[in-house]
Amino acid sequence: MAKIIELDKIGMSFEKKVGLLQPNKRIDVLRDINLDIAEGQIVAVVGESGCGKTTIGKIITGLMKPTEGELRFGGKNLYGFSLNVFSRTREQVQFVQQDSYAALNPVLTIRQSLSAPISHHYKNYSAADTEKKINEIMSFVGLTPPEQFLSKYPHMLSGGQRQRILMARAISLEPKLIVADEPVSMIDVSMRLSILNLMNKLNEMLGISFVYITHDLATAKYIARNGNICVMYLGEIVEFGSVEAVLRSPKHPYTQALIAAVPVPDPKAAKQGRDIPIKSMEITSLENRSKGCVFYDRCPYAEEKCRNKIEDTLVDGVRVKCCKIGELPEWTN
Amino acid sequence: MENIVEIRDIVIEYKLKKYALRAVDGVSLDIAAGKITALVGESGSGKTTVASSLLNCISSPGEIVSGTVRRHTGPNEVTEVEKLGENALNEFRWKQISMVFQGAQSALNPVVTIFNQFYETMVVHENYKPKSERKKITKQEAEQRIRYLLDFVNLDADRVMTSYPHELSGGMKQRVMIAFSLLLDPKLIILDEPTTALDVITQDFIFKLLQKVNREMGIAMLLLTHDISVVAKYADYMAVMYGGRLMEYGTVEEVFEHKYHPYTRGLIDSTPAINKDVGLLRPIGGEPPDLLNMPAGCKFHPRCPQCKEICKQSEPKTVTMETGHRVKCFLYEDEA
Ligand SMILES: Nc1ncnc2c1ncn2[C@@H]1O[C@H](COP(=O)(O)OP(=O)(O)O)[C@@H](O)[C@H]1O
Ligand SMILES: Nc1ncnc2c1ncn2[C@@H]1O[C@H](COP(=O)(O)OP(=O)(O)O)[C@@H](O)[C@H]1O
Ligand code: SF4
Ligand SMILES: [Mg+2]
Ligand SMILES: [Mg+2]
């Protein structure tokens, strides 16, 4: 499978004001991020709030320029492109954000919100062509009949319907990849599965790749069941591999703790859950994390060598950032 | 089984200017003493409104239109909270039932230390008592109690007592709130979405703590949540709400085993699980109900895959099965 996007040793840091007279402090929000996304693939990016998921999403979609490393699109450095090529390339990677209400202009009707990018992109389209395209994509995302929605304003729709509109807008430019940032966390529980199924449908029928960003491991497993998962902690990818392999036998102590903590919708299984292997409940801040392993302060297996820079280890096709692989207890789910 | 609260046929409306919004309609619910009962439903289904009625603190302009809420406050002693005066009600709050509101961490006063927030509450509550029963609480007495509670929720009491809220993490603040709710030794704690915004590892830790409070102190809990997996893992009983109605009630094991109500079934079957390998799951179709434009008949009928003709016309009664399991659905009316 051809790679669409490669993140090569990407890092991102922000200036943080400390005080009037002190120099600003640089905070590394992302460190050493390596990630490939192939054509037609679904990659889930999982981690708790603040670990850097949205920042990765913005980097992939070209909304934010990384401070370190190289972002390659079709094998070429995205930031080496001319402005023209850059913006055309960016259209092939769409971002669907968490807050569907904030993502849509409240004073525009749905038709207006959808037609603007279409007529901008397809310069030779007549008004009738644009309308035809709008009807097509609306039906595709399950908003039928389209007339029922097109003249409405965003606030007149439910969260689930607005999320479908965002999907429709994202596919209107026939992108190769959609980055969906927590697309179901703000909508009613009974509507979530149908949005996940819609993403699976767009993936299967249109061949669009997805980066699904979430804090919810269960939906990550569901949507990327044939794809990859990338587990993040404090700005680093601690484990990366196929969903199947990572969830069956998680290798990184953080992934193990995370999986042990996730409740399952089955009382018998849930109540037999194992104890969470973790040393401390307090989450370290980005500023105070160890120079070595990001999980050092909370890891039950930590020892002195974990404070040095950790290299990736490849085990059974899974990439793990832990220096004690092979010395840790076996873990299978 | 002993109940600590019995809600009967309660109807609650928000009296807005142009119309009354009926947020809760005919809900009956028992809350078992010493157990964890979950009230589960999606947002807007009426969870917070029902729970607020236990403390007579429904947010304005909400009113109980009909029905009763009876609390068993002692052996053979029942309090009807609607009839309490203001001071007695304030004493009843916290001492009998305390509530940790959704997002309560942000309700902590930002400019007062944790110790002083606890202490002030203890002092204020003395004043709600009849004059003859009031005691002076010294700081030393208060400290002993506060220390005990902070220890109980695994917080470093020395550090936390002198801290201001912004110096604590989200998980620590939530533990402070739990300690706070225990301050006056209640019989029941209501927890409204206590772990939203916390990561799953912290969530599990908070729930294990709540289970410890429940088991070691014998305090009953009413847990409001939209997350069916959380219910499966941590609750004993569950009540499923939909559009202001209580659709199903039973032990967590029974509800998950039988999934009698089609909404319960839909909810459970459409929840992804990390311990199962399944292909595509089937979503619940349609959209959640609009309280201002409710369908006739069963409120779930427009989304129900098992809808019959009668479901469109009249609303089913609640059927109680032999095991005590209760369901509001026509599919089971013969089993009454
Ligand atoms: N523009 C910015 N300036 C400074 N810090 C930022 C900026 N954007 C994000 N951050 C910080 O980067 C970290 C990761 O944020 P984010 O990517 O939003 O995490 P997530 O999506 O996983 O919750 C957070 O600590 C956040 O405060
Ligand atoms: N103070 C209020 N004024 C008017 N309507 C309210 C008020 N509080 C809640 N409601 C409405 O009552 C219904 C039930 O709300 P609530 O009990 O908060 O549900 P839940 O806790 O299950 O999300 C919702 O439609 C909500 O909009
Ligand atoms: S590298 Fe060391 S500290 Fe980090 S997770 Fe692995 S064992 Fe624990
Ligand atoms: Mg985010
Ligand atoms: Mg609520």
Interface test with B, best of A144, A185, A189 (most B CBs within 10 A): A189
Q: Is residue B42 pLDDT above 60, yes or no?
A: yes
Would you call A269 and B272 a contact, using CB atoms and an 8 Å cutoff?
no
Contacts of residue A139, defined as CB under 8 A and 6 or more positions apart, other chains included, come to: A146
Residues 250-269 of A with CB under 8 A from B: 257-269
Closest atom of ligand 2 relative to the B16 alpha carbon: 4
pLDDT given for residue A210 in this prediction: 98
Residue B264: the pLDDT is: 97
| Closest Cα in chain B to A272 | B233
- At residue B198, the pLDDT reads 86
Give B184: exposed, middle or buried? Use CB within 10 Å, 0-12, 13-18, 19+: middle
Give the containing element (helix H, strand E) for B4.
strand B3-15
Q: How far is the CA of A304 from the centre of ligand 3 (A)?
A: 10
Counting Cβ atoms within 10 Å, is residue A211 exposed (0-12), middle (13-18) or buried (19+)? buried
Q: What is the separation, in whole angstroms, between the first and last Cα of chain A?
A: 30
Chain A nearest C-alpha distance from B155 (Å)? 10
Please name the member of A200, A219, A261 whose beta carbon is closest to the beta carbon of B201.
A261
Chain A nearest-CA distance from B70, in A, is 30
Closest-CA residue to A161 (of A195, A132, A190)? A195
Which residue has a Cα nearest atom 26 of ligand 2?
Answer: B44
User: Which 266-285 residues of chain B touch chain A by CB within 8 A?
Assistant: 266-268, 270-277, 279-285
DSSP string, B271-321: S--TT---SPPPPP-S----TTSPPSSSTTGGG-TT--HHHHHSPPPEEEP
Inter-chain touch B200–A264, beta carbons under 8 Å: no
Q: Which residue has the higher pLDDT, B92 or A237?
A: A237
Q: Are the Cβ atoms of A188 and B42 closer than 8 angstroms?
A: yes
Per-position b or e across A111-143, b if 16+ CB within 10 A of its CB = bebbbeebbeeeeebeeeebbebbbebbebbbb
Q: DSSP assignment of A297-318, as one string?
A: TT-TT--GGGGSPPPPEEETTE
Q: How far apart are CA B129 and CA B149, in angstroms?
A: 23
Least Cα separation, residue A293 to chain B (angstroms): 19
With respect to residue A289, please indicate whether it lies within any of the assigned structural domains: yes
Q: Give the number of the ligand closest to the Cα of residue A45.
A: 1
pLDDT digits (tens, 9 = 90+) for A171-181: 999 999 999 99
ipTM score over 0.95, yes or no: no
Specify which of A18-27, A108-117, A285-294, B71-80 reaches the highest per-range mean pLDDT.
Answer: A108-117
Of the candidates A275, A134, A305, A188, which has an alpha carbon nearest to the alpha carbon of residue B40? Answer: A188
Residues of A with CB below 8 A from B269's CB?
none
CB B53 within 8 A of CB B7: yes
Ligand 2 atom, smallest distance to B59 CA: 1
Ligand 4 centroid vs B198 CA: distance in angstroms? Answer: 13
CA quadruple A149, A152, A155, A159: dihedral, nearest 10: 10
- CB contact A156 to B (< 8 Å): no
Share of chain B above pLDDT 90, in %: 66
CB A317 within 8 A of CB A229: no
Is the pLDDT reported for residue B335 higher than 80? Answer: no
In this complex, do A264 and B229 lie within 8 Å of one another by their Cβ atoms?
Answer: yes
Among B256, B279, B287, the residue with its CB nearest the CB of A266 is B256
pLDDT of residue B124: 85
- Name the packing angle between helices B170-181 and B200-217 (round to 10°): 20
pLDDT band for position B216 (50/70/90)? Answer: very high
pLDDT of residue A116: 93
Asked if B256 reaches chain A (Cβ–Cβ under 8 Å), the answer is: yes
Q: Which of A68-82, A124-138, B80-94 has the lowest mean pLDDT?
A: B80-94
Instruction: Identify which of A188, A266, A268 has the shortest CB distance to residue B273.
Output: A266
The size of the A-B interface in CB pairs under 8 A is 134
Residue B1 has a pLDDT of: 65
Q: What is the mean pLDDT of chain B?
A: 91
* Cα A109 from Cα B235, distance rounded (Å): 44
- Put simply, the answer to whether B232 touches A264 (Cβ < 8 Å) is yes
**Is A5 within 8 Å of A72 (Cβ atoms)?**
yes
**Nearest neighbour of B200 by CB, restricted to A190, A196, A258:** A258
Q: Which strands form B97-100's sheet, in the order they lie side by side?
A: B97-100, B188-192, B220-225, B36-40, B237-242, B245-251, B326-328, B318-320
Length of chain B: 336
Q: Is residue A144 in some structural domain?
A: no
Ligand 4 centroid vs B278 CA: distance in angstroms? 28
Contacts of B275 in chain A (CB under 8 A): 264, 266, 269, 333
State the smallest CA–CA distance between residue A277 and chain B in angstroms.
10
User: Does residue A164 lie within any of the structural domains?
Assistant: no
Burial grade of B90 (CB within 10 A; 0-12, 13-18, 19 or more): middle
Q: Is the CB of A14 under 6 A from ligand 1?
A: yes
Percentage of residues in chain A with pLDDT exceeding 70?
A: 100
Residues A76, A161: contact at Cβ < 8 Å?
no
State in Å: Cα A256 to ligand 3 middle: 12
**Which residues of chain B does CATH 3.40.50.300 include?**
3-96+186-288
Query: Does the residue A134 lie in any domain?
Result: no
- A269 vs B275: CB contact, 8 Å cut-off? yes
Lowest mean pLDDT among A43-47, A145-149, B196-200: B196-200
Number of domains composing chain A: 1
Contact B201 A258 (CB under 8 A): yes
Find the range with the poorest average confidence among A276-280, B87-91, B207-211, B266-270: B87-91
- Interface probe for B, chosen from A193, A271, A272, A286 (most Cβ of B below 10 Å), is A193
Each residue's pLDDT tens digit, B158-199: 999 999 999 898 888 989 999 999 988 899 999 999 988 889
Q: In this structure, are residues A153 and A162 in contact, taking their beta carbons and an 8 Å threshold? A: no
Class of domain B3-96+186-288: alpha beta
Confidence of residue A190 (pLDDT cuts 50, 70, 90): confident
B246 forms bridges with which residues in the sheet? Answer: B241
Q: How far is the CA of A17 from the centre of ligand 1 (A)?
A: 15
Pick from A26, A90, A104: nearest CA to A59: A90
Structure confidence at residue A138 as a pLDDT band (50, 70, 90): very high
The whole domain housing A216 covers 3-92+175-320
Q: Is-contact A153 A168, C-beta < 8 A?
A: no
Neighbours of B73 (CB within 10 A): 17
Q: Could you tell me the maximum CA-CA distance found in chain A, to the nearest angstrom?
A: 68
Residue of B nearest to A47 (CA): B199
Whether pTM exceeds 0.90: yes
Find the mean pLDDT for residues B285-293: 91
Alpha carbon distances (Å) from A181 to A166, A211, B13, B227, B271: 12, 8, 37, 20, 19
pLDDT at residue B220 above 90? yes
Band of pLDDT at residue B336, cut at 50, 70 and 90 = low
Top-confidence residue, A105 or B96: A105
Query: What CATH number is given to the structural domain containing A69?
Result: 3.40.50.300
